[in-house]
Chains A and B, each alone.
Chain A
Amino acid sequence: MHTKTISQLSAALRSGEVSSVELTTLFLERIKQHNPALNCFITVTEAQALAAAAAADQRLKAGNAAPLTGVPIAHKDIFCTEGVKTTCASKMLDNFIAPYESTCTAKFRDAGAVMLGKTNMDEFAMGSSNETSYYGAVKNPWDQARVPGGSSGGSVSAVAARLAPAATGTDTGGSIRQPAALCGLTGLKPTYGRVSRFGMIAFASSLDQAGPVTYSAEDAALMMNVMAGFDGRDSTSVERDVPDYSADLNNGIEGLKIGLPKEYFGEGLDDSIARVIDAAVKEYEALGAVVKEISLPNTGLAVPTYYVVAPAECSTNLSRFDGVRFGHRCDDPQDLFDLYTRSRGEGFGAEVKRRIMIGTYVLSAGYYDAYYLKAQKIRRLISEDFRAAFEEVDVIMGPTAPSTAFKLGEKADDPVSMYLSDIYTIAVNMAGLPAASIPAGFADGLPVGLQVIGNYFDESRLLNVAHKYQQATDWHLQVPKEFQ
């Protein structure tokens, strides 16, 4: 039962083959057994989960259940959950019990999904390896000496180890897609504005977007049917109808035009990854798709530009943590300045401080035009590359990450090398486009992800394209040995 997709679990709950309390108990047991080694949960909400499961069973019995009613899921600890500790994996929020619920988690709660707990992550979502968490690194279930990727590392590790059948994540520069690739899962970053950011602790507001982490595209569609939609409480939420993401899954993809950006297959890409991606593209050709080489000439500028825009926005957003109203306060402050600087100096970890410093520097007097304004202009050039490409092709494909999961500690002391592990994912956030990572095979026993990028609001097509591949292959159903 623990290796079933949420589509299968939803059916099993409906037919009465299993109850939500039984399912929830099963996953809570698995968390107890495996979390000490993997460290994917910061908080396990056992009592609330069992109560929610009992309520879901009532609702199933009464015949007014939604598709996810009774299905256990995990939430990244970046979403505020009322009455439950919400830390963003930071010492700053170690004592923070959220006084309200994020829109995203509220929608899952109202749909009857059962929250198992809050997952570990890079501190304030800043990281690509899940090593910056105040609560310690998360391990990759495929090889526990390796990172799961980040920043949604806890969500992805939990789902990959079958400690939860699905989870939420957030993606500012690749934080859903890169860990999904490194752990062999399906991860979707929706179009900017598609999922509400209300109650999702902000990192870089013009880039942040929540999305699902699942085994299959079919499951991701079920999650998106709950998550997506306009929210008046998020000023950047998009007022646009939400389609039924499950409706187009089985559409044929004969004649689908796939663009392969030559910049995604050059220097820096491991040969073993390139071979897996080539094989996946061949599979698509066998399914009737047409492949064409394209160019995204400003690809190389995405990472440099991101490391201006994201730290600038982070330094602004994180100025709210001042030790006055909530969060960590230093002992015995001498004056207000001492209170601010020591509370923040003690509350934030090294990577967060680094990014606040960069952001403050690029926004400081005399530098704004040279850095932030320049970055916003290059951001437009990056977006124009995609706009031109989508006049020729329906979707863009390439690797999600340049290598498989790296060893814990391998890049921890070299921020720039760590930043470059998001080289293929960051441009998508800069442009605000939707993109998925789907399991496409293995290199030296470690999962490899295929990235599929779509045009604005084309999530249905992305899921359709992913689903057709998953009907023809079984990479997405592979389970690490220890967790079968």
Chain B
Amino acid sequence: MSVDQSDITKVALLARLKIDEADVPQYVDNLSNILGLVEQMSEVNTDDVVPMAHPLDAAQRLRADEVTETNQRDKFQALAPQVESGLYLVPKVIE
């Protein structure tokens, strides 16, 4: 399995990663090589195998629907690049 330049551009868009035009050929090479390695999987018959999502096949633990966290907005927002009146600021989204 190999990928081409348009695959790289599409995946970078999906991943919200800005990739320099000049680096695209290297991504084509690297990803094609890695997918070549991964390709070995297709030789295995897995028709009746149940997919394994968790090493111990454990189910997600549930808890009571109660508020357990305290409000730490100010503490967390102290780390943010830009805040105002308790809100995170980003460039204008809606005209």
Chain A positions near chain B (C-beta within 8 angstroms): 96-97, 99, 192-193, 206, 232, 235-236, 238-239, 298, 300-301, 303-305, 307-308, 315, 319, 322-326, 329, 333-342, 344-346, 348, 353-354, 356-358, 360-362, 364, 370-371, 373-381, 383, 415-416, 419, 430-433, 456
Contact = CB atoms under 8 A, between A and B. Distances in A.
B15 A315 contact: yes
A341 B34 contact: no
The A interface, classified by DSSP as helix, strand, loop or mixed, is: helix
Interface centre among A97, A238, A322, A361 (most CB of B within 10 A): A361
B33 interface: yes
A380 to B, nearest CB: 4
A111 B35 CA distance: 46
A338 B18 CA distance: 8
B61 A304 contact: no
A419 B37 contact: yes
10 contacts: A206-B55, A236-B58, A304-B41, A325-B80, A326-B80, A341-B16, A364-B11, A375-B41, A380-B49, A456-B56
A329 B42 CA distance: 40
Interface centre among A206, A376, A419 (most CB of B within 10 A): A376
A345 B49 contact: no
B76 A374 contact: no
A329 B35 CA distance: 31
B61 to A, nearest CB: 6
A305 B14 contact: no
Interface in B18-48: 18-19, 27, 30-31, 33-42, 44, 46
B7 interface: yes
Contacts of B44: 298, 301, 378, 381
B88 A325 contact: yes
Contacts of B46: 374, 377-378, 381
A36 B42 CA distance: 47
A378 B42 CA distance: 10
B83 to A, nearest CB: 9
Question: What 7 pairs across the A-B complex have the smallest Cβ distances?
Answer: A432-B55, A345-B18, A376-B51, A329-B81, A377-B46, A341-B18, A380-B52
Contact of B40 (A301, A341, A381): A301
B58 A361 contact: no
B90 A358 contact: no
B51 A373 contact: yes
A415 B33 contact: yes
B13 to A, nearest CB: 8
B90 to A, nearest CB: 5
B93 interface: yes
B31 A354 contact: yes
B58 A193 contact: yes
A374 B42 CA distance: 8
Given A335-B91, A380-B49, A192 B55 contact: yes
A342 B37 CA distance: 30
A339 B91 contact: yes
B67 interface: no
Given A308-B38, A345-B17, A380-B49, 4 more contacts: A238-B58, A336-B91, A378-B41, A416-B36
A315 B17 CA distance: 11
B51 to A, nearest CB: 4
B81 A324 contact: yes
A431 B40 contact: no
B87 to A, nearest CB: 11
A326 B75 CA distance: 12
B54 A341 contact: no
A344 B38 contact: no
A326 B52 CA distance: 33
A118 to B, nearest CB: 17
A361 to B, nearest CB: 5
Given A308-B41, A380-B52, A99 B76 contact: yes
B74 to A, nearest CB: 10
A207 to B, nearest CB: 8
Given A304-B39, A340-B16, A354 B51 contact: no
B7 to A, nearest CB: 7
A99 B8 CA distance: 36
A236 to B, nearest CB: 7
B5 to A, nearest CB: 13
Interface in B55-87: 55-56, 58, 60-61, 63, 72, 75-76, 78-82
B34 A416 contact: yes
B58 to A, nearest CB: 7
A345 B18 CA distance: 5
Contact of A357 (B17, B36, B52, B75): B17
